[in-house]
Amino acid sequence: MQESILVIIIHIKMEEEMDLSSLNSIAQSMVAPNKGILAADESTPTIGKRFATIDTESTESSRQTYRNMLFTAPSISDYISGVILFDETIRQTTNDGVPFAEYLTSLGIVPGIKVDKGAKDLPMHPGETVTEGLDGLRERLEEYYSLGARFAKWRAVIGIGDNQPSMACIDVNAHALARYSALCQEAKMVPIVEPEILMDGNHSIETCFDVTTKVLDHVFKVLEDQKVALNGIILKPNMVISGTDASDRADVATVATATVKCLSENVPDEVPGIAFLSGGQTSEEATAHLSAMNEMGPHPWQLSFSYGRALQAQPLNAWAGADENLKSGQDAFLKRSRLNSLARTGNYNPQMEEAD
């Protein structure tokens, strides 16, 4: 009887080790050298706002056309290792009828899915939010896995202001990130852990450093409390950067130095990779900052990118909603992706922006 119990325990441990190994393998693929993650998970209202800037109506058909333009760009897999999809998008297909997730997988690109339900007002804390979406998440993850997703994304939104963020805001968002992460790993999916400190405001880079330190420290404590395997996650943080309205904004070298210092002090070495969000930076700023950080390497984790607007703003404008501009849109997307690929090794130069 005791021998039978021992055999069962050994099998359970072996299965757990296999699952963790698989998660780590997926995470490593997501931050593969010279590549990064395309965040194409804009909600329907958000992509509607983006389309409005190019006078294009946001319909299911136009959204499929736009995403198909990005995903089927020639040689995309040279620069992109993963794509975050939205619920609608993971159910759509290429123009040839191949499900997007299946098509990306065939290129060696890992498909992922946004699973949070957005930031909602935090009760009793005016101006602060908590991200919702935990209810029913286990079942949704099972469905997304069957649709081909192998990682997920959850974004916590934390602002800097007078007496903000509060510890309550940091705590509830860290707890939600940890519960989401545990559910993802249970479902054999890698969680992207995204605690975003917003650029909005006139705060200094020093304030951003202090807040980012406090948030990351707490997030990792709660992740460990929830028994999340740190070698099976990807961290998607903000860079340590001056507020958008700061009177004296820090330069590229200062941002790079402060960000690497903050991460080195707060991110455990076993985390496979850090894929930065662009957070309102221009395309050029996001690439320059990433390159400067990688130039300071080597680092214990891969320093990669998971950009939305910083990868899409230029191709969106080049496409402008017109079928005759699809190739121009792809060319703009590939150029932006290639420049960020160069930034992965610290080899980006702003002069490259002018080259064809």
pTM of this prediction? 0.94
Give the pLDDT of residue 50: 97
Q: Catalytic residue at 236?
A: yes
Rounded mean pLDDT of the chain? 95
- Reduced to 3 states, what is the DSSP secondary structure of residue 52? helix
Which of these is catalytic: 35, 114, 236, 335? 236
- Greatest alpha-carbon pair distance for the chain in Å reads 73
Which of these is catalytic: 42, 194, 196, 285? 194
**Rounded average pLDDT over 22-42:** 98
**Rounded average pLDDT over 209-215:** 98
User: Do the strands 302-307 and 36-39 form a parallel or antiparallel pair, or are they unpaired?
Assistant: parallel
pLDDT exceeds 50 at position 232: yes
Look-up of token digits 């080597």: 298
**Rounded average pLDDT over 55-77:** 98
Cα–Cα distances (Å) from 116 to 50, 153, 254, in that order, read 20, 7, 33
Give the pLDDT of residue 2: 55
Opening angle at CA 320, ends 287 and 282, nearest 5 = 20
Fold assignment, 2-354: TIM Barrel (3.20.20)
Tokens of 46: 């958000």
Give the pLDDT of residue 9: 47
| 92 closest CA partner among 141, 41, 166 | 41
**Which residue ranges make up each domain of the chain?**
2-354
Tokens of 318: 């080049």
